[in-house]
Chains A and B, each alone.
Chain A
């Protein structure tokens, strides 16, 4: 082994102590060997730098993972079919949303009904429900406006009080009987009062805070009613929700999701255009079965993406059997760093307390992304649950 060869052995970190000593002695006396040492070191350095610059292109990595974990052929076909099954649903929801918004823009909706619920005592609650048009104080309230049979006539109207002689329906709900409807023998006097602003103006009734029902013919008997959820007071809402993945499309395992703590979290702000329609925006983070290169150069097989979307929600009337639960559908269109995101939700919203409600439902999400220059989509079906606070 020549001294020249020992340069290689030494620079490769494979020289023994004896070989190292031999090399150093030779280097000390040979300028030619020193130049060769310098050249060998330059070659090693250049090769090392070259190696560090060789990184597989992103499309190669993405293609590799797709090949490695693609489902079997039969499943691919099935997944492809299922993949597009969500698209009509999303398109339908989008169409409903668009149509609703257009109708609102062309024909603004004013609240049609104020629900007034009586104060409660320990044993019973009385409810008076009236459906007074808010477009103007009516001269006559028809049976269509009242949950009852008879009509009434406006008695007096001034800037602070509107009084009516109206028949009314009392729905008594006690601990023993579920619901009993009683028709009073004599018509009571029904009056609106406001402590702050005029109850009545020339266009609509608003800011009604109390309703006093006076039983005609029974002096001293009256029921104070408080307005529950005046729509005018609860236009804005914020929501927080989580999402649990039920199924990914194309079919993939969700096994690795369990390592992610705060997975699929969403925050939203919405504004009520009417009692039934709200629009707003949501942001969140969610995992999708795609592969992206992280900032550290590694590859995340199920990437957690930040997304933002514009959303619209339509809430149906309360369920007949549970009057604080309303079905809803929601659609959203937005974006993520990997591509556009669409989501559709169908669920139930339950009013828990003053302004606070809970939602739960099924949600379908679609993410479009580019792979090898072509657009692909991936879909998820999940369970969503959350809280909303209105004010």
Chain B
């Protein structure tokens, strides 16, 4: 059964079954987005639940949706932005860089943790675009739908974000930094 068929069932008698099916398909990708954007697992758990609850209520109101995953991630993005707006604490880039100044290693098991930390260095839009691309495996076009920006903008954000990411992680990965890690993005 297609996503669209399941979405249409969400407002009917079989809503529970349809919701369960959609949840089974996309819970990991939505959760990965929330965890990566918010970092804190408790807040991510809350936002993750709010996302699916909002999604269900929206479906019950009869909202028209073409791309269920993109729609879910848009909701998740809004909730994440709200959660971050409520957060007074802002992580300084220098703190992140200090956190990364560990003994260089290329252990893959550690690398994914370091990558997640390094994402905090990126400007907000760049980070969102990079997370959607790397963690949710979305195309630039799909990311544009989620973030409501043109594909060219997404391409620009992803390229700049990943360039910055590689710079930040250059010492960790044992590669020469092609640009200063303190270089400000335009």
Contacts and interface: CB of A to CB of B under 8 A. Distances in A.
A253 B56 contact: no
Given A40-B162, A56-B31, A300-B20, 14 more contacts: A14-B139, A39-B173, A43-B166, A47-B134, A47-B135, A49-B112, A50-B32, A51-B28, A51-B137, A64-B49, A255-B17, A256-B16, A301-B19, A302-B16
Interface string B17-57: 10111011001110110011000000001001100110010
Given A64-B49, A67-B53, A299-B24, A43 B140 contact: no
Interface string B110-144: 01110110000000000000000111110110000
9 contacts: A42-B106, A47-B115, A50-B135, A51-B29, A55-B28, A68-B53, A69-B16, A297-B24, A299-B23
A138 B24 CA distance: 74
Nearest to B21: A298
Which 10 A-B pairs give the minimum distances between C-beta atoms?
A50-B112, A298-B24, A47-B134, A46-B112, A46-B111, A51-B135, A54-B32, A51-B32, A8-B162, A256-B17
A51 B134 contact: yes
Contacts, number: 135
B140 to A, nearest CB: 5
B13 interface: yes
A12 B140 contact: yes
Interface of A: 1, 4-5, 8-9, 12-14, 32, 35-36, 38-40, 42-52, 54-57, 60-61, 63-65, 67-69, 252-253, 255-256, 259, 297-302
Interface residues of B, number: 49
Interface of B: 13-14, 16-17, 19-21, 23-24, 27-29, 31-32, 35-36, 45, 48-49, 52-53, 56, 106, 108, 111-113, 115-116, 133-137, 139-140, 155, 158-159, 162-163, 165-166, 169-170, 173, 175-176, 178
Contacts of B56: 68
Nearest to B15: A69
A69 B16 CA distance: 7
Contacts of B155: 9, 14
A185 B24 CA distance: 83
Contacts of B108: 42, 45-46, 49
Nearest to B160: A5
B173 A8 contact: no
B113 to A, nearest CB: 8
B163 A8 contact: yes
Contact of B165 (A43, A48, A252, A302): A43
